[in-house]
């Protein structure tokens, strides 16, 4: 009957220490940790954690969003471990699925988390649509414009320089040269 922790951050710039410390304070004898987006299907440490869990163990996370990428995924994972006799606990949301109230609360909180995520997606889409309607498009500005573009095209047409040499002369990457020379 072990308490096993799982921690996750989305990028290498983020730090796992706070999650690992909190899980240790709550009695986790072992903590598995991933640095990967929650939307990824393949998270090696989550897979290892789920394989490590045994009947009577409890999987503990700091927050629900550390485990699942969506409500259906959270429900799927918790149902799969429940079928194996494994409990689930989320510290922030005070969820413990080893009790009936905990299971109910988990489903309510998971639904609210999905609702919040859907609202964020809707607001993002609305903002992008409003920007497009005003003539703005997303993405990074082109680095190869005006004189640089003309120079690059002329040098390429002359055929005396490699794309790498043209890129060095103009001061951009080879990929930028290839994109600029690609037929529209």
**Nearest Cα residue to 62 out of 37, 102, 33, 85:** 33
20 neighbors 33 (Cβ within 8 angstroms)? yes
Q: Which residue has the tokens 């990457």?
A: 173
Concerning whether 10 is annotated as a catalytic residue, the answer is yes
Query: How many angstroms separate the CA atoms of 120 and 176, rounded?
Result: 33
Query: Annotated catalytic residue: which of 10, 37, 70, 176?
Result: 10
CB atoms within 10 A of CB 148: 18
Phi, psi of 107 (to 5 degrees): -65, -35
Which residues on neighbouring strands pair with residue 88, listed in sequence order? Answer: 59
- Say if strands 95-96 and 87-90 run parallel, antiparallel, or are unpaired: antiparallel
Task: Give the residue from 55, 17, 52, 13 showing the smallest Cα distance to 33.
Answer: 17
Under DSSP, is residue 35 helix (H, G, I), strand (E, B) or coil?
strand
How far is Cα 111 from Cα 179, in angstroms, rounded to an integer?
44
Tokens representing 164 are 């790498």
Annotated catalytic residues are 10
């Amino acid at each position: 009957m072990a308490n096993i922790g799982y921690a996750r951050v989305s990028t290498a710039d983020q730090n796992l220490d706070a999650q690992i410390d909190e899980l240790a304070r709550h009695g986790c004898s072992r903590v598995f940790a991933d640095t990967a987006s929650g939307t990824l299907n393949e998270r090696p440490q989550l897979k290892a954690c789920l394989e490590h869990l045994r009947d009577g163990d409890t999987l503990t996370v700091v927050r629900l969003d550390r485990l699942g990428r969506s409500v259906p995924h959270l429900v799927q994972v918790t149902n799969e471990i429940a079928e194996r006799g494994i409990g689930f606990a989320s510290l922030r949301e005070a969820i413990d699925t080893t009790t009936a109230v905990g299971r109910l609360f988990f489903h309510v909180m998971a639904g609210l988390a999905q609702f919040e995520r859907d609202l964020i997606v809707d607001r993002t889409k609305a903002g992008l649509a409003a920007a497009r309607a005003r003539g703005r498009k997303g993405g990074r500005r082109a680095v190869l414009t005006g004189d640089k573009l003309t120079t690059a095209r002329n040098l390429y047409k002359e055929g005396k320089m490699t794309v790498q040499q043209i890129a060095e002369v103009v001061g951009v990457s080879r990929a930028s040269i290839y994109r600029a020379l690609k037929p529209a």
